[in-house]
Amino acid sequence: MIDISNYEAWFITGSQHLYGPETLEEVARHSQEIAKELGTKLPINIVYKPVLTGPQEIYKLMQEANNTPNCVGLIAWMHTFSPAKMWINGLKILQKPLAHLHTQYNRDIPWDAIDMDFMNTNQSAHGDREFGFIGSRMRLSRKVIVGHWQSEDVRERLSIWSRVASAWADWQGAKFVRFGDNMRYVAVTEGDKVEAEIKFGYEVNTYGIGDLVAEVNAVTDEQIAGLVATYEQEYELGDNLKEGGEKRESLRDAARIELGMRKFLTDRNAKGFTDTFEDLHGMKQLPGIATQRLMADGYGFGGEGDWKTSALVRAMKVMGAGLPGGNSFMEDYTYHFAPGNEQVLGSHMLEICPTIAEGKVRAEIHPLGIGGKEDPVRLVFNCPAGPALNATIVDMGNRFRMIVNTVEAVAPEQDLPNLPVARVLWKVHPDMKTGLAAWILAGGAHHTGYSQNLTSEYLEDFAEMAGIEYLIIDEDTKLRTFKNELRFNEVAFKG
Q: Which lies closer to Mn ion via its Cβ, residue 51 or residue 290? A: 290
Question: What distances in angstroms separate CA 16 from CA 47, 79, 83, 129, 357, one per listed residue?
Answer: 21, 10, 7, 15, 54
Q: According to the binding rule CB under 5 A, does residue 305 interact with Mn ion?
A: no
Closest separation in Å from C-beta 56 to Mn ion: 54
Q: According to the binding rule CB under 5 A, does residue 303 interact with Mn ion?
A: yes
Q: Which lies closer to Mn ion via its Cβ, residue 304 or residue 374? A: 304
Q: Which lies closer to Mn ion via its Cβ, residue 30 or residue 423? A: 423
Closest separation in Å from C-beta 74 to Mn ion: 39
Question: What distances in angstroms separate CA 47 from CA 31, 37, 73, 182, 470, one per listed residue?
Answer: 11, 11, 11, 43, 31
Q: Which lies closer to Mn ion via its Cβ, residue 69 or residue 372? A: 372
Closest separation in Å from C-beta 183 to Mn ion: 8
Closest separation in Å from C-beta 370 to Mn ion: 11
Confirm if 469 and 463 have CB atoms less than 8 A apart.
Answer: yes
Q: Which lies closer to Mn ion via its Cβ, residue 7 or residue 426? A: 426
Q: How far apart are CA 312 and CA 299, in angstroms?
A: 10
Size of the site for Mn ion (CB under 5 A): 3
Beta strands 203-207 and 175-179 are parallel
Q: Find out whether the peptide bond into 430 is cis, omega within 30 degrees of 0.
A: yes
Q: Would you put residue 474 in left (φ > 0), alpha (ψ -120 to 50) or beta? A: beta
User: Per CB under 5 A, which region of 168-176, 232-240, 298-306, 358-366 contacts Mn ion?
Assistant: 298-306
Closest separation in Å from C-beta 448 to Mn ion: 10
Report the site for Mn ion in 11-50 (rule: CB under 5 A): none
* Burial degree of 9 (CB within 10 A; 0-12, 13-18, 19+): buried
Torsion angles phi and psi, residue 391, rounded to 5: -130, 145
Q: Which lies closer to Mn ion via its Cβ, residue 210 or residue 372? A: 372
Q: Which lies closer to Mn ion via its Cβ, residue 227 or residue 403? A: 403
| 102 contact partners, CB below 8 Å, separation of at least 6 | 77, 124, 128, 132, 144, 145, 146, 147
Binding mask 331-370 for Mn ion (x = CB under 5 A): x---------------------------------------
Closest separation in Å from C-beta 348 to Mn ion: 6
User: Per CB under 5 A, which region of 58-66, 291-299, 327-335, 379-387 contacts Mn ion?
Assistant: 327-335
Confirm if 469 and 392 have CB atoms less than 8 A apart.
Answer: no
User: Per CB under 5 A, which region of 146-154, 194-202, 297-305, 351-359 contacts Mn ion?
Assistant: 297-305
Contact residues for Mn ion, defined by CB under 5 A: 303-304, 331
